[in-house]
């Protein structure tokens, strides 16, 4: 008569579909019981795909056929990903996430990551199920700002589990790359990385995923917008007039990509003295109002330069969560409320259909491969960029 040890040893030969490791090595076999001539197995797997379940049932039954007369297999698996997003047209590689907010800036260093973190944590504090995706492949700062530095990513099957901290699910390119590792990102690599961050991370059914983009307007923004219907974009800028020119480029990009504009955050708008709490104007304040009007959007908030914001970023303790009584925390909270209201308004009508690539599969939108010489000479480029 077979023992539990015999069954487990036989199951060492059952590979998890698509992998070299067995279901025992993965730790998916949770319970083995012998009841007379029958064996009752309980498995807990990470895939909701029907094909994975049926392949496992087939392989296990075959493997144990010479050892026991009957095999009863109970398989626990995650619920199938439900379509949460309201978009019905275009492409969506993460349909279980209801809304996507793209946080962008025209140039680096204006406080885009700081804004992403505090808006996201504020939204979670208001009862939303929130995630942060740090897609700033050139300078992923979110792990430091959320206190995740040095933490190992947990891999389940072939997917990575987001960290859960300060009420938010977080995954960053920085946690997936080795510290100090520098990559030269080229177009195709960027596209793949962005897609994988959406597809191969075990995101829960979120209300809002905040995405911290690399500064500027480039391949990452286009890929994201083509991969999921972005509910709205948030532009972060400082109030100096020179910064506003960069900001315009970022707002133009939202328009070109048919992304509704959720609003502008005017960051480093004035300085709040930590000693006397008085607010003074340094770079100019309120210059974003005209810009917002021009793009038919709103200023979500004016965030002062406040040492507590920087300290919160450096120590992994976002100001909105750890110093809720501070002036900045209150302004982030209001900005987040305004953003949630906007998201709720536009959520039903978002589509990325109009920005899907028109080039044949395998030909990048800016590659002339596949275009005839004649087309190139008459058109400039074969892909429509002249």
Ligand X SMILES: Nc1ncnc2c1ncn2[C@@H]1O[C@H](COP(=O)(O)OP(=O)(O)OP(=O)(O)O)[C@@H](O)[C@H]1O
Shortest Cβ 251–ligand X spacing (Å): 16
Shortest Cβ 235–ligand X spacing (Å): 11
Q: Closer to ligand X at the Cβ: 111 or 239? A: 111
Shortest Cβ 306–ligand X spacing (Å): 5
Both tokens of 339, joined, read: 């953003």
Q: How many CA atoms lie within 13 A of 188 on its CB side?
A: 4
Spatial CA neighbour of 134 closest among 21, 30, 212: 212
107 is in an annotated binding site: yes
CA-based max dimension of the chain: 83
Q: Closer to ligand X at the Cβ: 71 or 236? A: 236
How far is the CA of 60 from the CAs of 9, 33, 45, 46, in angstroms?
A: 12, 15, 14, 17
* Separation between Cα atoms, residue 247 and residue 243, nearest integer Å: 6
* Separation between Cα atoms, residue 87 and residue 189, nearest integer Å: 27
110 is in an annotated binding site: yes
Q: Closer to ligand X at the Cβ: 23 or 137? A: 137
Q: Which residue of the chain is nearest ligand X when measured via CB?
A: 108
Which chain residues interact with ligand X by CB under 6 A?
Answer: 105, 108-114, 136, 139, 141, 215, 267-268, 303, 305-306, 309-310, 313
Shortest Cβ 107–ligand X spacing (Å): 7
Q: Closer to ligand X at the Cβ: 268 or 355? A: 268
Q: Closer to ligand X at the Cβ: 113 or 227? A: 113
- Where would I find the beta strands (DSSP E) of the chain? 29-35, 38-44, 70-76, 99-104, 130-134, 154-156, 159-161, 163-165, 168-172, 208-212, 232-237, 261-272, 279-280, 299-305
Shortest Cβ 142–ligand X spacing (Å): 9
106 is in an annotated binding site: yes
Shortest Cβ 257–ligand X spacing (Å): 20
Q: Closer to ligand X at the Cβ: 231 or 269? A: 269
* Separation between Cα atoms, residue 307 and residue 273, nearest integer Å: 9
Neighbours of 295 (CB within 10 A): 17
Both tokens of 335, joined, read: 């900005």
* Separation between Cα atoms, residue 367 and residue 101, nearest integer Å: 29
Shortest Cβ 168–ligand X spacing (Å): 16
Q: Closer to ligand X at the Cβ: 336 or 352? A: 336
Contact 121, 230 (CB under 8 A): no
Beta-bridged to residue 332, according to DSSP, are: none
Extract the annotated binding site. Answer: 106-113
Extract the annotated binding site for ATP. Answer: 106-113
């Amino acid at each position: 008569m077979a023992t539990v040890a015999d069954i487990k040893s036989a199951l060492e030969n059952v590979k998890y579909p698509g992998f070299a490791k067995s279901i025992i090595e993965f730790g998916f076999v949770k319970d083995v019981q012998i009841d007379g001539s029958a064996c009752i197995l309980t498995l807990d797997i990470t895939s909701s795909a029907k094909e994975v379940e049926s392949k496992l049932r087939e392989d296990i039954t075959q493997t144990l056929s010479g050892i026991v007369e009957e095999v009863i297999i109970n398989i626990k698996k995650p619920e199938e990903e439900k379509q949460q997003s309201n978009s019905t047209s275009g492409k969506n590689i993460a349909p279980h996430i209801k809304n996507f907010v793209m946080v962008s800036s025209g140039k680096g260093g204006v406080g885009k990551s700081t804004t992403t973190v505090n808006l996201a944590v504020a939204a979670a504090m208001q009862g939303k199920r929130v995630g942060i995706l740090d897609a700033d492949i050139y300078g992923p700062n979110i792990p430091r700002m959320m206190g995740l530095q040095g933490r190992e990513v947990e891999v389940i099957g072939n997917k990575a589990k987001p960290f859960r901290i300060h009420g938010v699910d977080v995954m960053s390119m920085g946690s997936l790359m080795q510290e100090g590792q520098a990559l030269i990102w080229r177009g195709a690599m960027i596209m793949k990385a962005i897609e994988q961050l959406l597809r191969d991370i075990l995101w829960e059914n979120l209300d809002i995923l905040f995405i911290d983009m690399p500064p500027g307007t480039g391949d990452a923004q286009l890929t994201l917008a083509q991969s999921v219907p972005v509910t709205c974009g948030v532009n972060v800028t400082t109030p100096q007039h020179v910064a506003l020119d960069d900001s315009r480029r970022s707002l133009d990009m939202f328009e070109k990509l048919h992304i509704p504009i959720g609003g502008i955050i005017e960051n480093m708008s004035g300085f709040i003295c930590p000693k006397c709490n008085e607010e003074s104007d340094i770079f100019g304040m309120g210059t974003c109002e005209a810009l917002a009007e021009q793009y038919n959007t709103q200023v979500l908030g004016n965030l002062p330069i406040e040492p507590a914001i920087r300290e919160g970023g450096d120590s992994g303790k976002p100001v909105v969560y750890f110093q809720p009584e501070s002036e900045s925390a209150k302004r982030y909270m209001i900005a987040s409320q305004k953003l949630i209201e906007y998201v709720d308004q536009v959520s039903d009508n978002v589509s990325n259909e109009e920005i899907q690539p028109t080039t044949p599969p395998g030909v990048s939108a800016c590659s002339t491969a596949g275009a005839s010489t004649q087309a190139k000479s008459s058109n400039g480029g074969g892909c429509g960029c002249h």
